[in-house]
Structures are given as C-alpha cells and as structure tokens.
A and B are shown apart, each in its own frame.
Chain A
Amino acid sequence: MSATEFKNPVVRWIDYRLPVFTMMQHELHEYPTPKNLSYWWNFGSLAGVMLVVMIVTGVTLAMHYVPHVDHAFDSVEHIMRDVNYGWLIRYVHMNGGSAFFFVVYIHIFRGLYYGSYKAPRELLWMLGIVILLLMMATAFMGYVLPWGQLSFWAAKVITSMFSAIPLVGDPIVTWLWGGFTVDQPTLNRFYSLHYLLPFVIVAVVLLHLMALHQHGSGNPVGVDTRGPQDSIPFHPYYTVKDLFGMGVFFLVYFGFVFFAPNMLGETINYVEANPLQTPPHIVPEWYFLPYYAILRSVTFDIWFVPAKLIGVILMFGSILILFLLPWLDRSPVRSARFRPLYKQFFWLLAIDALVLGWVGANPPEGKFVIIGQIATAYYFLHFLVVIPLLGLFETPRPLPKSINEPVLKGDSAASTKEKR
C-alpha cells in the first residue's frame, strides 16, 4: 500500500513528517470491513463513545467534587444545585455508567454468540476482558465517591472480600483501606484511582483496536473475508451505520438522563454515609448483581477452605474463565448460526446471567440460595464442560464458502466467480 497523495499542501507537509493522515486514511477509509455486519456490531464503537462521554463528564465533575468524608455528599448536591448544568453533567455521568456496562455486556455476548474470541482474535478478546475488569474497578470506586449509605457499605463489603485470603487477608484489607475501616484515606485513594483508571482503559482500548485492525472484524457468518467482494471500506459505510445506531442508543440513554435519572440507582444512596448504621439491604448497582449472586452462592465450607474464600474465588473466576475461552472452545466453527447446539446453550447462558442478576438483587434467603447455587453451577458448567464437549461432539451445519455468497442471494456474477 503506497503512501496516499494529499491535495492540501499543509496536510502533505505534516503527513510527510508525521504520518497521521496516512494512518487515518489507512485505518478508516481503506480499512476493509466485512460487508455483512449486523447491528450487533455497533456496540464496539458505542462503547468507545461511552468511554469518551464518561471521561469528559467525569473530568468536569472532578472540578467541583470534594473527596472528603465530611463534604463529599454535600459537594455532589452542590453540583446538582449550584453548578451551571451540574445536574445534567452528573446525571449523564451517573447513568453513563449503566449505559457503558449495558453496551459492553451486549458487545461481549455478541462475541460469545459469533465466536469472536477464536483464532486469530484470542488476544483481541483477552484485551477486552482486561477492559471489563478495569471498568469494574473504576465503576466500583466511582460509586463510593458520592459517599451515600450504599457507597460506604459497598466499599466495606467489597474490600472485606480480601480478608478471605488466608494468612495475609486482614493486613491486605487494612492496607486497602489505609486504616482500620473505610474512611477518609479510602475515599481519597478511590478518588485518585477513579480518575486514573479510565486513562488506563483508553490505553488498553488502543491495544484492543490494534489487535482488531490486524485481522479485521469478525462477521455474523464467521468465515474469513476472501477478497474485495466480501468487504467494504469502514468509512463511510460503517461510520454512518455506527452514527445511526448511536442516535437510537442516545434516545434511550438520554431518556433515562432526563426523565428517570434515578431509576437505576438505589434511593438509600441519597442518605449520607453512616458507619454506625448498616442498611437493611446492601445491593450493588445492577451491572454487578450477577457477580454478587455468585459471591454469595457458596454457603458451605469445602474441607478446610472457608465458604467466603470459595465465593470470592468463584466470583473472580467467573470473569477470569473468559480468558481461557478461546482454548476451551475447540469447535472450528465461529458463528453460532452454524452450531445448532451451541446456539441453544448460548441462550441458556444468557438466561443464566439474568437469573444470577435477579438472585443478586434479593436477600440471600430461602429459595434464592438454592437458585443462586444452581445458576452459579450452570455458569461454570457452561464454560468448563458444555463448551469443550460441544467442540468434540457437535456437528456443525455446512458453512457458506464466503461472505459474499449468503449476502448475494441471487445467482450473480460475483458469487459464481467466488465459488470457483
């Protein structure tokens, strides 16, 4: 690919010394993208948009927020009341967290359905899981900042998980807190890290994009692009498609921001943190509920390993297991469209995740205990048993020879040429 000739002399001058325009031309305009991507492929760029929204609103909020146990709660209300459009910036940020996770979860399940994690995109997938972990840490610490009742108690419950580690557990928790309970040092460091981590996410996102552009997007059919007839330039085709998808998504997102800004939050977080009063129900935000259910699912010790430790291991394991997925799934077929059994188990996993979320929202009593245990067991069975077995025993449906073939249904010249 030769260097592009730019007409504008200034652009040419800059590009000769710093080839940013060549790079943009290469990565946006020439970048070949499969022509058959469905709207499920919109969610990657949407996640990128949400990251920018979160950073811009977050930096603005940080100009007015006070990370002090005596002032944090009131400073958030100061933003809501006295800062120009402060309520808008805060509600965009607050609901933006939910929107970001919603988009990313769809993006991940898209990857699961279409086998996006398979060779040669294993590192692309793993970098995505790293982003998810970083997002979770960022969201958790951000939730602590308004210093409401659940901010405080979520911080306490989640950091206390580390006390389950044998021998060094308690010292680690003290180290995390910067004291003997969640207090000023904890709030201060969470604020610092909540500001830092998004920029780490940006860095990993760039790696994610580098890995993506190495082999290009997967596609709903799951067969590789075999030539120009299978692909179209990213710009303008997918830029405009992504923009249209963004419009639809923003209708919902801003619907929440302007008309139900507190619907996804817990009312009790508008009560200032009180270390002496435990709220009746401590629940995380909706996007953490499935992990919370897994964490609480273990109610029994196994030999000398305490239940709490197993719960913590399972909770982290539920995400870490995704790193192994490219090697657990031995099926050579990527897309679930051609894997009749995998398709059904995929939907079962999706339902399982919803059930876990529902269990996580309820107190761990009665039937919720056993449902949570079954759902947790199924989650791990899916990845550790079902997927490896399907790779061995499932008979996939015949694959199309190319992307172009299913796209062009008629007997056009292009498809017959491709068949040869």
Chain B
Amino acid sequence: MRRKLIVALAAVGLAVAVAGTAAAVEAVKVPSQTWSFGGLFGTFDRGALLRGLQVYRGVCQGCHSLKLVAFRNLQEIGLTEDQVKKIAAEYEVTDGPNDQGEMFKRKGNPSDRFVPPFPNEKAARAANNGAYPPDLSVMVKARDGGADYLYALMTGYREPPAGMQVPEGMQYNAYFPGHQIAMPSPLVEDGVEYADKTRATVAQMARDVTTFLAWAAEPELEARKRMGVKVLLFILVLTGMLYAVKRKIWSDVH
C-alpha cells in the first residue's frame, strides 16, 4: 500500500515538472520593468504622469478613447483647476437635447469625460481598416503583464523574421499575441514636445504614457497602498494583542 502511494506521488510530481516546462513555450515573455508605482509604497511619478498625458493627447487619442476618465480627475495628477478647465475646453462635447429638442455642441467642462475620437465602433472600424482601437481606460488592468506588456508592445515593433509574411495593413510586433498587429508603431522620436523639456525618445514616451495609463486604470492605487500599510499595521498590532489575551485566558486550561 505504502509503495503504491509513493509511486503515485512520484507520478504526480513528475507530471507537474513536465507541465512547467511546456507552459513556458506558449506565451511571449514580456520583460519586466521597474515602475514608480510598483511595490508596497509605490506612487505615480508626477512628471511621468504629466508627460504621459501629453503623449496620450498628442498621439493615442486620435484613435483610442479614454471614456472612463473625467477631466476633473486630472487634478489628482497635479494639474490646477484652471489648467483642467483649459484642457476640457479644448474638447467638443455633444449635449442636449435643448429646449428646441435639438442636440448641440458645447465646450467640455471638467465634469465631462475624455471625448471618444469616434462616435461608435462602426465609425472607428471604418476609419481604421476594419480594426477597432480599444478604449484605454482600464487597459493596464486588462492585459496579462499590465504596464510591462504595454511598454513592451509600444517598443516592440520590429522587422518580421525571415520567412514570415505580414499581410497588408498589419505590422510585426514582438510582444503582441500572434505578432501581427493592426496598430502602426505609434511612437516616433520627438513625436511630442514635452513641456518639461525632457527628450522625447520612443522609450521615454512609452514609459510616460504607460505610467499615465496605469494611473487611468487604477486612480485609487496611491490611496489604496497608503491605507493598506496602515490597515496591515493595525491588524498586526491587534493580532499581537489578541494573542496575548488568548495566552492569558488559556493559561489555566493546560
């Protein structure tokens, strides 16, 4: 009986080991980066957030919506109320119906959300060779690898390997699943002129806009981690005290 058990356990162990090696072949490994918002005490790099906003507004928003983020939220990343109002006013919002029953256009308010570049999915596909640029609001939470993946994707455009045919209108990307992506390489050297005079290399822009999108996906991250440290410390002390009380109460049992 015991021998059979040992054999069975060995078989299970072997199976686990074999599976581990097989799983690694399947997915493309995304290089991991160090992010300001990683770790237990991470916070978003404010400079990167503002630069990332510039990259989103200068590059991404031509095709990608950010419909869950409101202009007022930008105050959280360090813009003043007036700056937010100014940015919001640069967008045209469809509102209505008015008293005449007609829809009308007006300037954006801080309470509005980022205005999508296309009125609907059909319009977006029509303008993009049939491809649909996804909304970026929760993108960092919505892809395996998160921020690392986004950065790798934006910096992962290469010449296709010899023998691989990439169809018309598609690009080769080292990190996109299947390696064929409809989005053309979005970032070019000096594609935006940073307000803080940082040199806009492709890597710099990719880092900045990824940081910005990480904030867009998890605007609560800083508050969450700050509260988490306090909560865990509190529970730790409480648990220690409960242990002492338990010892005292149980001292007469054993």
A residues whose Cβ falls under 8 Å from a Cβ of B:
35, 74, 77, 80-81, 87-88, 91, 232, 236-237, 240-241, 243-244, 247-248, 250-251, 254-255, 257-259, 261-262, 267-268, 270-271, 280, 341, 344, 348, 351, 355, 358, 362, 366-368, 371, 407
Task: Report chain B residues within 8 Å CB of A237.
Answer: 249-250, 253
B residues whose Cβ falls under 8 Å from a Cβ of A:
1-2, 5, 8-9, 12, 15-16, 18-19, 22-23, 40, 68, 73, 134, 137-138, 141-144, 146, 177, 217, 219-220, 223-225, 227-229, 231-232, 235-236, 238-239, 242-243, 245-246, 249-250, 253-254
Q: Are B232 and A267 in contact (CB under 8 A)?
A: no
Q: Are B228 and A258 in contact (CB under 8 A)?
A: yes
Q: Are B68 and A232 in contact (CB under 8 A)?
A: no
Q: Are A362 and B141 in contact (CB under 8 A)?
A: no
Q: Are A344 and B5 in contact (CB under 8 A)?
A: yes
Closest-CB distance, B131 to chain A (whole angstroms): 13
Closest-CB distance, B179 to chain A (whole angstroms): 15
Known A244-B242, A258-B225, A270-B141; 19 more pairs at CB < 8 Å: A81-B68, A81-B219, A240-B242, A241-B250, A244-B245, A247-B243, A251-B232, A251-B235, A254-B228, A254-B231, A267-B143, A267-B146, A270-B217, A271-B134, A344-B2, A348-B5, A348-B8, A355-B12, A407-B254
Closest-CB distance, B110 to chain A (whole angstroms): 14
Task: Report chain A residues within 8 Å CB of B227.
Answer: 88, 258
Complexed CA–CA distance, A371 and B17 (Å): 13
Q: Taking each of A241, A258, A262, A271, which has the highest tally of chain B beta carbons within 10 Å of its own beta carbon?
A: A258
Q: Are A232 and B9 in contact (CB under 8 A)?
A: no
Closest-CB distance, B17 to chain A (whole angstroms): 12
Q: Taking each of B5, B134, B141, B229, which has the highest tally of chain A beta carbons within 10 Å of its own beta carbon?
A: B141
Q: Are B142 and A358 in contact (CB under 8 A)?
A: no
- Which chain B residue lies CB-closest to A345? B5
A-B contacts, CB under 8 A, total: 104
Q: Are B9 and A351 in contact (CB under 8 A)?
A: yes
Given contacts A237-B250, A244-B243, contact A362 B228 (CB under 8 A): no
Task: Report chain A residues within 8 Å CB of B246.
Answer: 240-241, 243-244
Q: Are B141 and A247 in contact (CB under 8 A)?
A: no
The contact of A371 among B1, B15, B224, B239, by CB within 8 Å, is: B15
Q: Are B18 and A77 in contact (CB under 8 A)?
A: no
Q: Are A88 and B224 in contact (CB under 8 A)?
A: yes
The contact of A270 among B1, B12, B138, B229, by CB within 8 Å, is: B138
Q: Are B19 and A362 in contact (CB under 8 A)?
A: yes
Task: Report chain B residues within 8 Å CB of A341.
Answer: 1
Task: Report chain B residues within 8 Å CB of A254.
Answer: 228, 231-232, 235
Q: Are B232 and A367 in contact (CB under 8 A)?
A: no
- Closest A-B pairs by Cβ, 8 of them: A258-B228, A247-B239, A270-B142, A87-B220, A244-B242, A270-B141, A270-B138, A240-B246
Q: Are B242 and A362 in contact (CB under 8 A)?
A: no
Closest-CB distance, B178 to chain A (whole angstroms): 10
11 contacts between A and B (CB under 8 A): A81-B219, A81-B220, A87-B223, A240-B246, A251-B236, A254-B231, A267-B141, A344-B1, A348-B8, A351-B9, A367-B22
Task: Report chain B residues within 8 Å CB of A367.
Answer: 15, 18-19, 22
Q: Are A248 and B225 in contact (CB under 8 A)?
A: no
Complexed CA–CA distance, A144 and B249 (Å): 46
Given contacts A81-B219, A237-B250, A251-B236, contact A268 B142 (CB under 8 A): yes
Q: Are A77 and B5 in contact (CB under 8 A)?
A: no
Closest-CB distance, B151 to chain A (whole angstroms): 16
- Which chain B residue lies CB-closest to A261? B224
Task: Report chain A residues within 8 Å CB of B15.
Answer: 355, 367, 371
Task: Report chain A residues within 8 Å CB of B134.
Answer: 271
Complexed CA–CA distance, A248 and B240 (Å): 9
Task: Report chain B residues within 8 Å CB of A251.
Answer: 232, 235-236, 239
Q: Are B19 and A358 in contact (CB under 8 A)?
A: yes
Complexed CA–CA distance, A87 and B138 (Å): 14
Complexed CA–CA distance, A366 and B21 (Å): 14
Q: Are B243 and A80 in contact (CB under 8 A)?
A: no
Complexed CA–CA distance, A251 and B16 (Å): 30
Task: Report chain B residues within 8 Å CB of A362.
Answer: 19, 23
Complexed CA–CA distance, A407 and B209 (Å): 63
Task: Report chain A residues within 8 Å CB of B9.
Answer: 348, 351
Given contacts A237-B250, A247-B242, A251-B239, contact A258 B138 (CB under 8 A): no
Given contacts A77-B68, A254-B235, A257-B228, contact A271 B253 (CB under 8 A): no
Complexed CA–CA distance, A80 and B225 (Å): 15
Closest-CB distance, B216 to chain A (whole angstroms): 10
Complexed CA–CA distance, A262 and B8 (Å): 35
Complexed CA–CA distance, A240 and B250 (Å): 9
Complexed CA–CA distance, A367 and B20 (Å): 12
Task: Report chain A residues within 8 Å CB of B223.
Answer: 87
Task: Report chain B residues within 8 Å CB of A261.
Answer: 224
- Which chain A residue lies CB-closest to B42? A259
Task: Report chain B residues within 8 Å CB of A243.
Answer: 242, 246
- Which chain B residue lies CB-closest to A370? B15
The contact of A80 among B23, B220, B253, by CB within 8 Å, is: B220
